[in-house]
């Protein structure tokens, strides 16, 4: 949760919340939770405060964390903070098939300004370059569609090898950063967890089967179920067009799992089934480290596939 969202409108409540945050930064989560409870007595309809209380209680291993997350969700039904994901992680409810769109949009809107520096320099993010190596032998391309383009990290890799480059993302702030780089011929806002809305509201021309390359670099871990994005890809690809993408490796033969990071991981077996169902031939697969997270490598799988007709 960003600090720009974290204000109750009550000066005393905000002050207590600040003290709670400092205690949490010192790993005294029980004391932080107690101070947040006091803040919420002054601001009982403060959704962000209830969410933060849930985080403190969770880290203090208190059983009442779910109660705080539920209250945050009641006060903010669009779930901008991701309370449904937190409830799933602590076992209070089943993992949703996809994260709340407002949560993902808000997450990346807040992250956009520091995205390139944080991801590439601090977390050793390497997916765009690795995906480019998978497709390089098939270049050049007439039209590349970059799904979840973010600030344009994959766009920078592919720009010189495609005549036209289009990028789509849920976050308007990420799109603004991509626009500043001048890489894309077209940029548009779209929610890929809702394929019909993505095509109908944001101008994705699916009927033409027009793209000879579609990329999704570190996108599918923010979708969970892929039952909407794979049909979209199959419709948008021209015959024998390529789809290159990454997932976090679930490490088990299940469909997908929600991790503590609030990102989804997918199994290789599940992806293979989806590719086959949508008549996408698997050309190459690579298991690799895709980034660091809390000082530990995150294992991922890169796929290069081709539409069979």
Specify whether 194 is located in the same domain as 51: no
What pLDDT does residue 84 have?
A: 97
What pLDDT does residue 204 have?
A: 55
Tokens of 238: 């021209």
Specify whether 200 is located in the same domain as 119: yes
User: Does 104 map to a domain?
Assistant: no
Specify whether 115 is located in the same domain as 66: no
Asked which of 68, 94, 120 is the last residue of a domain, the reply is 94
Specify whether 142 is located in the same domain as 17: no
Beta strands in the chain (DSSP E): 141-147, 162-169, 186-189, 211-216, 237-248, 256-258, 264-266, 280-293, 296-307
User: Does 230 map to a domain?
Assistant: yes
Contacting residues for 157 by C-beta, under 8 A, at least 6 apart: 128, 129, 131, 132
CATH number at residue 262: 3.40.50.150
Specify whether 187 is located in the same domain as 122: yes
Contacting residues for 28 by C-beta, under 8 A, at least 6 apart: none
Residue 171 Cα distances to 102, 151, 192, angstroms? 10, 10, 12
pTM of the model: 0.90
Residue 140 sits at φ, ψ, to 5 deg, of -85, 170
CATH number at residue 42: 1.25.40.10
Specify whether 116 is located in the same domain as 197: yes
As a whole number of angstroms, the distance between CA 72 and CA 76 comes to: 6
As a whole number of angstroms, the distance between CA 30 and CA 129 comes to: 43
Specify whether 171 is located in the same domain as 279: yes
User: Does 105 map to a domain?
Assistant: no
**Residues of the chain predicted below pLDDT 70:** 1-6, 192-208
Asked which of 37, 62, 94 is the last residue of a domain, the reply is 94
Specify whether 262 is located in the same domain as 180: yes
Please count the structural domains in the chain.
2
Specify whether 11 is located in the same domain as 123: no
SS3 of 280, please? strand
What pLDDT does residue 176 have?
A: 96
Tokens of 224: 């969970």
| Residue 45 belongs to domain spanning | 3-94
What pLDDT does residue 106 have?
A: 92
What pLDDT does residue 20 have?
A: 96
Asked which of 59, 94, 129 is the last residue of a domain, the reply is 94
Express each pLDDT in 25-70 by its tens digit. Answer: 999 999 999 999 999 999 999 999 999 999 999 999 999 999 999 9
Specify whether 228 is located in the same domain as 130: yes
Residue 59 sits at φ, ψ, to 5 deg, of -70, -25
Say what the alpha-carbon torsion angle 204, 161, 229, 306 is, to the nearest 10 degrees: 120
Tokens of 153: 């990290």
User: Does 9 map to a domain?
Assistant: yes
b/e per residue 62-98 (b: at least 16 CB within 10 A): beebbebbbbbbebbeebbbbbbbbbbbbeeeebbbb
Specify whether 79 is located in the same domain as 191: no
Specify whether 74 is located in the same domain as 174: no
As a whole number of angstroms, the distance between CA 119 and CA 114 comes to: 8
User: Does 102 map to a domain?
Assistant: no
């Amino acid at each position: 949760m960003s600090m720009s969202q974290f204000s109750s409108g009550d000066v005393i409540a905000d002050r207590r919340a600040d003290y709670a945050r400092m205690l949490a930064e010192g790993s005294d989560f029980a004391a932080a939770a107690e101070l947040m409870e006091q803040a919420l007595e002054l601001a009982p309809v403060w959704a962000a405060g209830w969410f933060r209380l849930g985080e403190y209680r969770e880290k203090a291993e208190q059983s009442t964390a779910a109660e705080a997350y539920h209250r945050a969700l009641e006060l903010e039904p669009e779930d901008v903070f991701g309370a449904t994901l937190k409830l799933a992680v602590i076992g209070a409810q089943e993992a949703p098939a996809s994260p709340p769109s407002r949560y993902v949009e808000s997450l990346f809107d807040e992250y956009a300004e520091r995205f390139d520096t944080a991801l590439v320099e601090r977390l050793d993010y390497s997916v765009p370059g690795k995906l480019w190596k998978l497709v390089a032998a098939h270049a050049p391309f007439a039209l590349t569609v970059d799904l979840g383009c973010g600030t344009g990290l994959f766009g920078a890799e592919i720009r010189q090898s495609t005549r036209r480059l289009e990028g789509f993302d849920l976050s308007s702030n990420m799109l603004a950063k991509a626009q500043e780089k001048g890489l894309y011929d077209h940029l548009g806002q779209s929610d890929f967890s809702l394929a019909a809305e993505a095509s109908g509201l944001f101008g994705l021309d699916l009927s033409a089967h027009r793209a000879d390359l579609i990329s999704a670099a570190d996108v599918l871990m923010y979708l969970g179920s892929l039952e909407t994005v794979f049909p979209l890809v199959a419709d948008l690809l021209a015959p024998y067009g390529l789809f290159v993408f990454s997932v976090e490796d679930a490490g088990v033969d299940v469909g997908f799992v929600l991790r503590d990071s609030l990102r989804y991981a997918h199994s290789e077996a599940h992806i293979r089934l989806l590719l086959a169902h949508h008549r996408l031939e698997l050309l190459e697969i690579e298991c690799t480290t895709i980034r660091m997270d809390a000082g530990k490598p995150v294992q991922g799988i890169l796929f290069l596939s081709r539409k069979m007709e």
